[in-house]
């Protein structure tokens, strides 16, 4: 590794045609493998609890422990490591993840739980360094398309990786599923090491500069919006299966297919958001969040109507978490593409997940499985309100630009 604190940063080059380098898909492969591991625990909780000898409730701490590591990983590990070249850092983080995961699977319960927290730490660090790298590789209008590829690792991991890993774990053993995932993580490490260009990292900043980067009100407004939309989606998503069976009357065999439809919609939504975000991140987020709100409200108002439920699932999947590329673009617009700013993205997304899952459990126990839909809609509505100052400001700036740039009566002032 080479310390870059004493020399200028060497920029990464995008393709001459302004496109997105194919190597970004390999970075996304690493995200996919680690996110699959994150959600795989949820699908294998009964098997893990029986084998390890703990209750299902205790086994669920594997999920919250992973999330706790994610909250801290971008800051504690990702930001400091951004000073080194991504061709070294990203594969190294993948190898660390693979080693930690293997140790956890082969260890007794307390060690396993600790290793899950370290796995979350490694994922968040990888994610923040990946975003810093990708935004340097692809400047300009193509940048949201590039970041959407990184987020595609998340959506594909939950859509394809989770069901496959869960099926494999149930057919063989839960440990076999994790070992198979570890192999994919290591393959991603080799691919990233071979495909990424050898470049310097980002020069570190002083504490004063760091505080300055994170002090903007517009930045925190963008971060809050991202956290609320993620939380609003996840608070509802966690109870889709129960609602489909208890309220819609869907058979247990059909539930995975409907959830797969939701996942497919999220993959398509993520791709589309990456394509249109250059037209205005705040506008794209506003439209997407309004659709998310409408989908959650429709689901709550007609949970017994399968056609309405199917449409609602598609709408929520195509918006919700799929807006992350637009959130990232907005955060960059108002705060810059620095490691400190981009380290906030996994922190905010994870905070939204924790907010959603914690709130959902409380309201579902108190008011029934439909209550999380109401909470999700409320969070989406608040997220829309946080966008109002940004949208009004953009409209005002547009009006001023129209006056300045438009025709003037003769004679025009010199």
Q: Tens digits of per-residue pLDDT, 6-45?
A: 333 444 444 544 577 888 999 999 999 999 888 788 778 7
Q: Which residue has the tokens 């975000």?
A: 277
Q: What is the reported pLDDT for 142?
A: 84
pLDDT surpassing 60 at residue 411: no
pLDDT surpassing 80 at residue 183: yes
CA distance 318 to 267: 7
CA distance 157 to 151: 10
Report residue 198 CA to chain centroid gap.
Answer: 27
* Contact (CB, 8 A) for 203 and 327: no
CA distance 394 to 157: 35
pLDDT surpassing 80 at residue 179: yes
Q: Which two tokens stand for residue 151?
A: 């987020």
**pLDDT cut 90: percent of the chain above it:** 39
Average pLDDT along the chain: 84
CA distance 142 to 159: 25
Give the count of alpha carbons within 13 A of 234, CB side only: 21
Q: Is 24 helix (H, G, I), strand (E, B) or coil?
A: helix
pLDDT band at 289 (very low <50, low <70, confident <90, very high): very high
* Contact (CB, 8 A) for 232 and 296: yes
Find the angle CA(104)-CA(72)-CA(346) to the nearest 5 degrees.
100
pLDDT surpassing 60 at residue 229: yes
Ranges of H-type helices in 77-173:
79-81, 86-105, 109-137, 143-156, 162-171
Q: What is the reported pLDDT for 62?
A: 87
pLDDT band at 99 (very low <50, low <70, confident <90, very high): very high
Q: Which of 58-67, 140-149, 207-216, 318-327 has the lowest mean pLDDT?
A: 207-216
pLDDT surpassing 80 at residue 331: yes
Q: What is the reported pLDDT for 8?
A: 39
């Amino acid at each position: 590794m080479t310390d870059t604190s004493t020399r200028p940063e060497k920029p990464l080059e995008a393709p001459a045609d302004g496109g997105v380098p194919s190597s970004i898909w390999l970075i996304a492969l690493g995200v996919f493998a680690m996110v699959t591991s994150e959600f795989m625990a949820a699908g294998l909780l009964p098997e893990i609890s029986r084998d390890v000898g703990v209750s299902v409730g205790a086994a669920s701490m594997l999920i919250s422990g992973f999330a706790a590591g994610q909250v801290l990983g971008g800051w504690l590990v990702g930001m400091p490591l951004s000073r080194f070249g991504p061709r070294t850092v990203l594969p190294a983080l993948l190898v660390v993840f693979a080693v930690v995961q293997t140790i956890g699977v082969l260890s007794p319960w307390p060690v396993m739980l600790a290793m899950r927290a370290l796995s979350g730490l490694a994922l968040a660090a990888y994610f923040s360094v990946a975003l810093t790298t990708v935004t340097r590789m692809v400047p300009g209008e193509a940048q949201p398309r590039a970041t959407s590829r990184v987020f595609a690792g998340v959506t594909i991991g939950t859509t394809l990786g989770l069901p496959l890993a869960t099926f494999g774990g149930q057919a063989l053993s839960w440990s076999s599923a994790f070992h198979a995932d570890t192999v994919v993580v290591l393959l991603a490490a080799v691919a990233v090491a071979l495909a990424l260009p050898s470049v310097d990292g980002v020069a570190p900043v002083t504490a004063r500069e760091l505080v300055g980067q994170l002090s903007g009100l517009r930045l925190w407004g963008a971060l809050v919006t991202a956290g609320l939309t993620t939380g609003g989606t996840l608070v509802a998503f966690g109870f889709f299966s129960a609602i489909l069976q208890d309220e819609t009357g869907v058979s247990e065999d059909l539930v995975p297919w409907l959830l797969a439809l939701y996942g497919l919609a999220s993959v398509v939504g993520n791709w589309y958001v990456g394509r249109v975000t250059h037209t205005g991140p705040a506008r794209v987020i506003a439209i997407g969040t309004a659709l998310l709100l409408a989908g959650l409200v429709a689901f709550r108002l007609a949970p017994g109507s399968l056609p309405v439920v199917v449409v609602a699932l598609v709408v929520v999947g195509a918006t919700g978490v799929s807006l992350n590329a637009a959130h990232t673009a907005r955060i960059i617009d108002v705060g810059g593409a620095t490691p400190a700013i981009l380290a906030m993205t996994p922190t905010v997304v994870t905070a939204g997940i924790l907010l959603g899952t914690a709130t959902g459990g409380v309201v579902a126990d108190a008011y029934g499985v439909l209550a999380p839909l109401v909470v999700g809609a409320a969070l989406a509505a608040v997220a829309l309100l946080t966008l109002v100052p940004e949208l009004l400001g953009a409209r005002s700036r547009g009006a001023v630009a129209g006056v300045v740039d438009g025709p003037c009566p003769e004679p025009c002032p010199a």
